[in-house]
């Protein structure tokens, strides 16, 4: 499969009511690519500083993640984020953000990546996301994530991006903000009419919603009693979704729906431990087994 992700590569510090972990492997492109790697090869584009532990790159490579596009910036420092979760494990507060090399990141796709058909633009400034689109004009499926900051501060650039992509993945708060509507069903379709053929709204512990011209549906989260660290759940969801899509090679309503189910399942593993720790313990058969339980759960 030919799947490419452009996004952040980070060292996260995560505080939960039970535990704190400092400087663990994180970043949207990392969660995405690991989650997608259950389905085949993934090509990663990102930037880190000289403080980046080589073992993290080795881990990604061991999963068939191509890191040719991971720039190591001389004299630079890796993006760092520190966040604290509320007891409900859904709300979180950002305590520190040091963009470091990610702040100046101008993604350049290696020559060997230019034939990729499936592209995921993890959250980043819309103009930077657009510059990646322009480097991969023939991609078959272009999907982006975004965040509240760009909705508020780079609204026109974001609207321009929305007209150039096939799919948008965002969370419920962002969808309500962008559509200026508190009803998520209406908000999803309002955003869809801004350009993308489909919109996926992530609702955290409440699952995800899908909107296309002819379809509106909800997929609940897989109910896990063990929510240790939700960091990266949204990117793992997108990684599972895009990984499955790229592995299938066709984009039909049926395959899209299956891809949301796969995204849901991979994300449900991700939240069960810090960083990639839980995802590192599983393989594709585990994903398929839980998908089977999920399918059973939803049939009546």
Interacting residues with a copy of itself (CB under 8 A): 87-89, 182-186, 189, 203, 205-207, 209, 216-221, 223-225, 227, 254, 257-258, 260-261, 295, 297-300
Cβ distance to a copy of itself smaller for residue 50 or 93: 93
We find the least distance from the C-beta atom of residue 170 to a copy of itself, in angstroms, to be: 16
- Distance between CA 231 and CA 228 in Å, rounded? 9
Q: What is the DSSP string of 181-239?
A: -S-HHHHHHHHHTTS-SEEEEE-GGG-EEEE-SS-EEEEPPP--S--S--TTHHHHHHH
We find the least distance from the C-beta atom of residue 219 to a copy of itself, in angstroms, to be: 7
Cβ distance to a copy of itself smaller for residue 17 or 115: 17
In 225-282, where does DSSP find H-type helix?
Answer: 233-248, 253-270
- Distance between CA 79 and CA 93 in Å, rounded? 17
We find the least distance from the C-beta atom of residue 257 to a copy of itself, in angstroms, to be: 4
Cβ distance to a copy of itself smaller for residue 84 or 98: 84
We find the least distance from the C-beta atom of residue 33 to a copy of itself, in angstroms, to be: 24
Length of the chain, please?
300
Backbone φ and ψ for 198, nearest 5 degrees, come out as: -140, 155
Q: What 3-state class would DSSP assign to 88? A: coil
Cβ distance to a copy of itself smaller for residue 5 or 209: 209
Cβ distance to a copy of itself smaller for residue 63 or 92: 92
We find the least distance from the C-beta atom of residue 227 to a copy of itself, in angstroms, to be: 6
């Amino acid at each position: 499969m030919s799947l490419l992700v452009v996004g952040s590569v980070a060292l996260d510090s995560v505080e939960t009511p039970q535990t704190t972990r400092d400087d663990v492997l994180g970043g949207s492109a990392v969660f995405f690519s690991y989650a997608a790697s259950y389905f085949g090869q993934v090509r990663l584009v990102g930037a880190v500083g000289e403080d980046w532990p080589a073992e993290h790159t080795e881990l990604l490579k061991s999963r068939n993640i191509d890191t040719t596009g991971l720039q190591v910036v001389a004299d630079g420092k890796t993006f760092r984020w520190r966040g604290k979760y509320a007891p409900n494990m859904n709300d979180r507060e950002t305590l520190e953000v040091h963009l470091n090399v990610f702040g100046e990141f101008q993604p350049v796709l290696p020559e060997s990546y230019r034939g990729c058909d499936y592209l995921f633009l993890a959250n980043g400034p819309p103009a930077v996301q657009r510059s990646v689109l322009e480097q991969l004009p023939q991609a078959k499926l272009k999907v982006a994530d975004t965040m509240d900051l760009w909705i508020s501060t780079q609204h026109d650039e974001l609207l321009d991006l929305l007209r150039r992509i096939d799919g948008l993945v965002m969370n419920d708060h962002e969808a309500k903000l962008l559509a200026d509507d508190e009803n998520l069903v209406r908000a999803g379709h309002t955003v869809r009419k801004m350009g993308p053929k489909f919109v996926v709204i992530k609702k955290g512990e409440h699952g995800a919603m899908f909107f296309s011209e002819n379809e509106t549906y909800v997929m609940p989260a897989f109910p896990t009693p063990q929510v240790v660290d939700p960091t990266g759940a949204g990117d793992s969801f997108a990684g599972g979704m895009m990984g499955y899509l790229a592995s299938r090679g066709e984009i039909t309503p049926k395959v899209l729906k299956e891809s949301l189910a796969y995204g849901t399942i991979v994300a449900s593993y991700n939240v069960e431990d810090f960083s990639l720790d839980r995802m590192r313990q599983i393989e594709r058969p585990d994903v398929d087994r839980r998908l089977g339980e999920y399918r059973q759960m939803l049939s009546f």
